Structure 1
């Protein structure tokens, strides 16, 4: 019978060991056991999961641990650990960097507890926790809070917070300044309402009630006037915010931001007058202008505006006709834009309009309300632009930090963050993306790569200086040349660059806040111009047009004379050059026939080379003469049966076709509009090339086919004859092919992709083909891959 009493200590030990192993497996930390007597260290599986080391691959001694501690931390960590052991203390902990298996370092929090035996530590057991992510999160939070504080200060925004329960209000310093610094006793809802202009008070109260109503929960966005509490100064404010509700539907917080817009409101009349002065410039740019009197609903518009909306400059435009021309699917876009314009005064939307001929066109509408002294809208003026050819899709903003994203999205000015020395674009708001005109593709790119047009302008140098010195920079009415809508344009901005610093005082990013003042600057410039200047410009333009017309007429005369002289020169040169070549060939033949027995092999070889070179030169002169004669007038065109041309060419190439053993497949071909002799040259060169450039190891096949060109395909081609239908003729072979990177090269004079030893020819054939096609107001191109044949594609007109 076994004595279970004696086995109880052993059982307890086994149970404790089993529990330790279970804990080591269950925890997400790295568990270690250091046997001080034996000098061995045991690690649990967390060592592999967290740091990438398999426990069985790690050396058993403590150096396997200490050697992986960062060199800058190693000495102090090891000394502190041995000090605890030597003093017999019960626990040890430290923060240091530990090397992962991939060579990177993790920030860890390590804790150990000693096990005593015989009055001294015999083991130390502990756990190591990876706190790298926690440290990064703490650092990001600190930087985000710093960015938030600066953004509020740089944007000159007032913040407010209203407690719906007791109606007490909390305003920051800027917001107090906007209200004329009211007394502490007036810092509640009823007190602050008294400082709102009497004509605006009811509208503000209604907006607050709608925002606090659980059934409505409207966004608070309103413009109104305040009369300062202490300075009695009249100010225009633009306030935005929202209410927050608990699960029962009761509001527990109502907060937002306020911005002074006094200068914007007071400048409306000047801007309206400047808009009228800019009307000529607008029309000259291709945009149409309009103005709507809101009281009578009468619309005044330019002929260009009527054309952009309806397709006809003579259309009788009313607001009803304008609405009827709007695409049904875009009605909501327009309605939403007008609803927003009633609040912020700016009309901006893009929508489709249906012309009188039923075609659909994209139009961008930009407008601005004009207000009277009491803040009532009296008219709407603006411009429309046809953007059918350049409409672009924009994506919604994606940002990395929630607090900064909320602030930037609600900011009434264009805002973006440039991170690091390379100024990588991060968190641009919608206004800034519109300023740049590049879309969301710029996010994550260095500023100089995303906006290459900034090279040579001062902004990149200013940002680099701010990153180095940490000194902020601001400027009013600064000029910026940006590529917007595919063209370089000039804009003017009030902007501020503010460096953001981390906890160490180092600049890690720069916040860019900009306000587009282009219209104000341009308006000011136009106001400074006199009527005399316009007359001078008109006179100068007329003089230059006349000068250019005379120069163009003279250039045309010189071009005609040059072409006539060139044809005469080419004819004379070809005959004068052919004569010595014929003598070279004649005397060469006589030498071969008379003195061939007296010449050694080398002499006969060189004489044959002379004969071959003279023949090639003669052929090249003939090709050049043919190329120079390729001029065709419209009166020389007639209906040409393309199949007859092809069969005539095949008869001429019969010997070459038999020698190359080529199968020629000719489908039914149509009648085209052109010159039969030039078309014969075209087909002979294309077919002979297809026969010549064959793969020697396979049967050579050449196919000729065609199809009618559709309107959509025609729109992608260079300018063709507008009143002729076109065919697409294809000459397809299964020969050696070519790389399409040489596509432009093969149609140039004397361009060869292969040596004369491989394939004969003058290098003029395809250039001649291109000249014939151009004479016929057509287009030629090719598709090919090396070793997979080639397809030469020719677009030719047909009779009307």
Structure 2
């Protein structure tokens, strides 16, 4: 009978059977004695052991007294009951294996490091028979309170099943490898989650385009080109589920023997199972079906090419089959042109478009079908029901018969282009041209047309003929012959007209002086001149519309007015007077410099309250009231008041006189007057009180003279007002004429915009065949490079030509997108913009070791996208046209220049007082000076294309960008000395 423990020990607590046995054991009869006397290290370790779910054994003390938990019991020698082994020496419990285990325990107790063994063979004796078991275990010391090993804790795991399974797998793999390696079909075996290539036969290696170095590597490491494909996930899915995966005709982009290769494959992934049913790998069987797939695709492409040709055609296209004209194929553009939907497919044409009944088209189609003769029509009218309304539309169309192998007509292809807008626009244009000729003939301005580069004079009105002064015989003459004085007098107009013809940019010049021999007499006249380029359907300038308005009298009146104002300013200066004026509408006060200095104000223009603040407080209300009365009633103003200098505080006494000027309707326009510092007079009166009477007489005399002067100034101002009114009246007439002319020019501009949109769409359509040429060229090089031999050179030349054509079309699109004026107007920091451009060119800069020096650049109002193109072209050219063996040096400098400082040859599109001058300078190959204008013409190249790549459009785009911003770009250079591009933009 076992004695029951009478005392409860917490460290022996536990729910398992071994915990119960350990608590109930009579420890007083053992070497350890009662549990209350056990060392603390033993107690802690036993508490851990009895509550663990992992197999553990504890050998304690020099006798190796053993303890173990429930998780270890299945591995215990079956000849002894658990109650008979607890607390017994290990040699008694495991006599068969103690020769192996005992030395390991003694080694740990001797103070050596813990011991670890993996898959260790440990014989287990059951009923006198030894059974091989494999264990992975560790022997760890358990230290007592003194820090010395007092016991050994053994944690272990029976790995017999895993070891035997692995051995079986290895044997199965060896067998599978033998089958795979000798198979005539491409096969491979992949092991584990990483799909390590355990074996792959020669057909599979050839299919992959690899050698046997891929063996024993993870699949994705061996074939990194498949990283973006789902192959690894598919393999793992087969390994996890055990379900076979089969795929047919899947496309793969492989690297076979170092070269890209596109192929199609049929393959199967099947899981490999061990004897115990677990899955440890997959086997892949694959077959290349590239030839079959490409053959089928070619057949399908041949069958679908005709349908795609129709459905994807950029114009309305359809196919009528059989004598009933059944709508076999129709694209979206044709359905839209008919005003129907795709329900018309497979219907006879008369059912699809019943409104054709009574119109000639069905008879024409029947005749084409019967005779096999194609039919073509231009701007043919057709009545169609679109959006529920019957209306007449106009089409260019063709009916082309298609024949079968026997030569019989089996279908008719119909291609149609809706030209309704063009027909109606032509009619409107004819009416507009008739109206334009009427406007030109009756316009008070001189209007004429200069046709061609020789500027042949056509359709001049009588005013234009009178301006030229040579009679109606000038019609049909070149301008230089009709007006030779333009050459003999060195006038710039022929050069300006040539620039307009070249650039297509309108030129306007108000008040230009022109020397003209009118009726045999040389005259100096002034004209407001507008040269407007006219474009043909190809977007080329074919003529220039000249509009000239005689403003000689206004200019001379303005000059006389300026002379009078100059004399007036001289008189005011001599009299040491200040002037001032007040705008009746805005209340803005404008002061002369002398007047502003008296008040201590830095600027000459201020709101009325600022000016009043300088008047002393006692006088302020009186002065404000008097000024308002003058502005409201138009009466004269004469006041004396004290002011305080805003900077120095000095007080002055001012005497001011003035007058309000109004419109003919009596509406006040502005107040103008003079002011005089009378402080000295006041001080002199106080100092010389004994001479008051004499001084008063002198002052009265002076005042009379001043009054007379003021009256004279007032009279002069009245004359100026009358002159201004006359100028205003003339300007109103000029504005009315300009409005009519601008309406006409707007109509012409809309036509030009339509032409530009047409060019844009056409250029896009040209890109598609070029892309196909390049793609097919790549396919030929990839699949037949070895067979082509010397013919490969011609293939390369073909692709290079297609690439150059594609670049040219892109440049043409860029050129077409840039209008002659800026549509987006926003602040653009040129410093930030150039920094972004240099970032885009970073690789070229690094390769050429270029040095870029950029000044601080201004912020301007414009279109950031266009300006990026400008600097991208200029900097790209500077890097491209570099001298061999010399690192490029590029400098960008900026400064502000006035209108007066511009070179005589620079005529900006938009007038301004100041301009930003931007210079882009390089040390490249440069060019001959005589080409300084030619380089801005489209398609002009100074070098052969094999020397320097490009289309010759970049600088044309740059000039157009600058022109659209109202500026001018010039170029200067010497061969081998670099080039300088100078840009002037209005500030």
Verify same fold: TM over 0.5.
no
Give the TM-score of the pair, scaled to structure 2: 0.27
| Larger relative contact order (CA 8 Å, sep ≥ 6) | 1
Larger radius of gyration between Structure 1 and Structure 2:
2
